[in-house]
Structure 1
Amino acid sequence: MHRLWRATVNSWNGLRSGIRSEQAIREELVALALALPLAFLIGTSMARRLEMIAVVMLVLTVELLNTAIEKLADRVTLEHDSQIGRVKDLGSAAVGVALLIAGMVWLFALGERVGMF
């Protein structure tokens, strides 16, 4: 039980740190707050609503991981390093792919709502 408590505290501290230091994380939390009621308006089933909310949470998760990678890379060196730059670019690409997935799910759900599918 103590390990679970420590893991929860560490997770909360990580989220708070990300919120303080990263605009993208703050924006994705706003998107999540907006997604909660919108999913219930747009989603045609409970499963679709959960999918819509889950993909926004996926974007937030990937952004948190990308932020962790960037913070670690900056800790290694602040000088320009092409390999570290590539690692940061890969993390950014992961966020971009997650955003595309989320956009596709939301567009499909909207199309479903208006009778296109």
Structure 2
Amino acid sequence: MKRIVLAFLNSVRGLRWAVNHEKAVMQELYLLAVAVPLAALLAWDVMVFIALVGAVLFLIAVELLNTAIEKLADHVTLERHPQIGLVKDLGSAAVFIALVMNLLVWGAVIWVRLRT
């Protein structure tokens, strides 16, 4: 049980740091605050609600992983290095794919709602 509590505290510390230092994470948390009530209005069942909110949570998770990759890469070297640049680009690509997934999920639900 102690390990679970410590893991939870580490997670809270990481989230707190990200909120205070990463503009993208803060923007995505604002998006989540808007997405939850909007998903409640759009969803015709609990699974659709979970898909909508889950897509935004997935985006935040990928953003946090990208931030961790960038911080680790900067710790390795602050100089420009092609491999470090590639690592950062790959993390950024992951965030982009998560954004596209959000557009697809939200777009599909909105499309169905507009047609009914």
TM-score, normalising length from structure 1?
A: 0.97
Q: Percent identity?
A: 47
Does the residue aligned with 1:44 lie in a helix, a strand or coil?
Answer: coil
Deviations 1:1-53 (A, max 9, x none): 10000000000000011111100000000011111000011122211011000
The runs of 5 or more residues in structure 2 that have no matched partner are none
Deviations 1:61-115 (A, max 9, x none): 0000000000000011100000000000000000000000011000000011112
Note if 1:87 corresponds to 2:87: yes
Note if 1:57 corresponds to 2:63: no
Pairwise CA RMSD: 0.8
Counterpart residue number, 2:100? 100
Aligned residues: 116
Structure 1's consecutive aligned runs of 4 or more residues displaced over 6 angstroms after TM superposition are none
The answer as to whether partners of 1:73 and 1:84 remain within 8 angstroms in 2 is yes
Counterpart residue number, 2:28? 28
The runs of 5 or more residues in structure 1 that have no matched partner are none
In structure 1, distance between residues paired with 2:89 and 2:73? 12
- Per mean C-alpha deviation after superposition, the further-off stretch among 41-50 and 73-82 is 41-50
